[in-house]
Amino acid sequence: MSAPTGIVKTSIARKFVMAFTGFFLIVFLLTHLSINLLTLSSDPEAFNEASHFMATNPLIQVMQYVLAAGFLIHIIMGIKLTKQNSDARPVKYVKNNAAANSGFASRSMIVTGLLVLVFIVLHLKDYFWVLKFGDMTPYSSDYDLVVGLFSSPLYTVIYVAAFVLLGIHLSHGFQSAFQSLGANHPQYTPFVKGFGTWYSILVPAGFALVAVWHFVQSL
Amino acid sequence: MNLTLQIWRQNGPNDAGRMVEYKVSDISEHMSFLEMMDVLNEELVAKGDDPVAFDHDCREGICGMCSMFINGEAHGPDRGVTTCQLHMRMFNDGDTIYIEPFRAKAFPVIKDLIVDRSSFDRIQHAGGYVSVNTSGNTQDANSLPVPKADADKAFDAATCIGCGACVATCKNSSAMLFVGAKVSQYALLPQGKVEAVERVKNMVHQMDLEGFGNCTNTGACEIECPKGISLSNIARMNREFFVSALAGE
């Protein structure tokens, strides 16, 4: 057990990795949202300049890879843990009243997580890939591309639904990350839980607002 | 009360097992759940059938033996009780009650509702103790001052009876509430600090070896624990583990 690899493979270290990458992604969401909110400005240049900054700033370029690693570790570890946890009970209960002792969000992290992943793949294809490597000639600016997609009702519905799922995922994930890192305190934990609930409502609502706003504008 | 029981019957560790339906009648609402099981078994024995095997010992909520998963919950629908403390008044006349063994890879079924929980013993052997020489020269208890708050928390953790309800109820079959309680009861006291670094590492290592799942903080264990062991014990174990990982050689 003294070798570092022994520690890394323990169940508690895995919890730590999920919590740490989760925190990182939670902070990333705020950065992303603050740039999205710029599209609500009457001047499209506000968003275009922010978009240009994100595409050219050297620190952001490095952080892109850190972010990608954070996503991958969180996703791969999550899938691996779910498999291990399922294997820990080979014969399932005939009757299991799980709702009596735990919340829906905490029991469906893998489902909400994987559905959000599907959305992320779609999102990367439609935005990130086009902005970074694709052909931008049909679009007059970054703003034009981003706002243009929300003229589709289907895309707007998928976008909003993804953020409802992310909100459910965060409602458990936020406070769970604190517990995994050992931060449980009779005075602070109720605050953390309350803050986590508001965060998981307001941040996804912010993303959804941007989508619905542009959809309504396009009508 | 007249009840329909759906009970898991399994002849031995290698038998596939199945749910079998039984009817019991004239059950008093004042009976404990185990007394109801006794009534059923007496009827089965009178008929020459094999009685339902289930674990029980003290029947006063302290031994932690009675390990039944009743209507989808460890120790049934009541809170803060073991199966022997569960009264039939929690059910209604005409109810169908599902009774299954605690299920986890680390708790293999021995027969019917009896499971082998010796994995908990092996976790305890890995570090759930203090190496104190007890041969004479016992020092005065007051010579080691312990803050009241720490003593209370250590005592709360030590009320864990090792019944396994946390594992049975956890969707991941994680043993972290049990191990968290056992780590905490020593971590908070001066006698336990001597071996703290090795204890948490060894107990967590053994827990993983036994095939328990990983904690995802659903909190189900805390709700179903007959002794009300708090999730804060898992957080303390996590903290102890990080310190141990950094301090260990």
B115 touches chain A (CB under 8 A): no
- Cβ separation A179–B217 shorter than 8 A: yes
B108 touches chain A (CB under 8 A): no
pLDDT band at A188 (very low <50, low <70, confident <90, very high): very high
Q: What is the mean pLDDT of residues A106-129?
A: 94
Q: Give residue limits of the domains in chain A.
A: 4-93+108-218
- Cβ separation A90–B72 shorter than 8 A: no
- Distance (Å, whole) CA B69 – CA B165: 9
Nearest CB to B218: which of A2, A92, A106?
A106
Architecture of domain B3-111: Roll (3.10)
Give residue A2's pLDDT.
45
Task: Name which of B246, B178, B167 is nearest B211 in CA terms.
Answer: B167
Give residue B151's pLDDT.
96
B176 touches chain A (CB under 8 A): yes
Give residue A5's pLDDT.
52
* Residue ranges of chain B with per-residue pLDDT less than 50: none
**CB-count burial class (<10 Å; 0-12, 13-18, 19+) for A187:** exposed
Contacts of A85 in chain B (CB under 8 A): 171-174, 213-214, 216
Could you tell me the fold of the domain covering B117-131+143-247?
A: Fumarate Reductase Iron-sulfur Protein; Chain B, domain 2 (1.10.1060)
Give the residue from A14, A93, A174, A175 with the most B CB atoms within 10 Å of its CB, the best one to mutate: A93
What percent of chain A shows pLDDT beyond 70?
97
Mean pLDDT across chain A: 93
pLDDT band at A1 (very low <50, low <70, confident <90, very high): very low
- Give chain A's radius of gyration (CA, Å): 20
- Cβ separation A1–B241 shorter than 8 A: no
Task: Name which of B239, B79, B232 is nearest B157 in CA terms.
Answer: B232
- Distance (Å, whole) CA A138 – CA B25: 78
Interface of A with B in 199-218 (CB under 8 A): none
Residue B32, helix vs strand vs coil: strand
ipTM of predicted assembly, 2 dp: 0.93
Residue B8, helix vs strand vs coil: strand
Give residue B142's pLDDT.
84
Bridge-based pairing state of the strands B96-101 and B73-74: unpaired
DSSP sequence for A34-71: HHHHGGGSS-HHHHHHHHHHHHH-HHHHHHHHHHHHHH
CB B73 within 8 A of CB B33: no
Bridge-based pairing state of the strands B96-101 and B3-9: parallel
CB A106 within 8 A of CB B216: yes
CA atoms within 13 A on the CB side of B248: 21
pLDDT band at A204 (very low <50, low <70, confident <90, very high): very high
Q: How far is CA B244 from CA A21, B201, B238, in A?
A: 22, 7, 10
Residue B23, helix vs strand vs coil: strand
Higher pLDDT, A128 or B118: B118
pLDDT digits 0-9 by tens, A26-40:
999 999 999 999 999
Higher pLDDT, A42 or B19: B19
B18 touches chain A (CB under 8 A): no
The residues of chain B that CATH labels 3.10.20.30 are 3-111
Could you tell me the fold of the domain covering A4-93+108-218?
A: 3 helical TM bundles of succinate and fumarate reductases (1.20.1300)
Contacts of B107 in chain A (CB under 8 A): none
Interface of A with B in 69-88 (CB under 8 A): 81, 84-85, 87-88
Residue for token pair 């010579």: B143
- Cβ separation A184–B218 shorter than 8 A: no
The DSSP H or E segment spanning A107 is: helix A104-107
**How many Cβ pairs closer than 8 A exist between chain A and B?**
141
Interface of B with A in 42-81 (CB under 8 A): 69, 71-73, 77
Contacts of A12 in chain B (CB under 8 A): 204, 237-238, 241
Q: What is the mean pLDDT of residues A7-16?
A: 88
CA distance A24 to chain B (A): 18
- Distance (Å, whole) CA B10 – CA B96: 20
Give residue A140's pLDDT.
83
Chain centre to alpha carbon of residue B129: 19
Bridge-based pairing state of the strands B73-74 and B68-70: antiparallel
- Cβ separation A101–B238 shorter than 8 A: no
Contacts of B215 in chain A (CB under 8 A): 11, 15, 180
A58, pLDDT greater than 60? yes
A3, pLDDT greater than 70? no
A153 touches chain B (CB under 8 A): no
- Distance (Å, whole) CA B225 – CA B156: 12
Angle among Cα B167, B170, B171 to the nearest 5 degrees reads 130
- Distance (Å, whole) CA B235 – CA B212: 18
The residues of chain B that CATH labels 1.10.1060.10 are 117-131+143-247
* Tokens, residue A86: 């399922």
E strands, B75-117, where? 96-101, 109-111, 114-115
* Tokens, residue B97: 């009650």
Give residue A4's pLDDT.
46
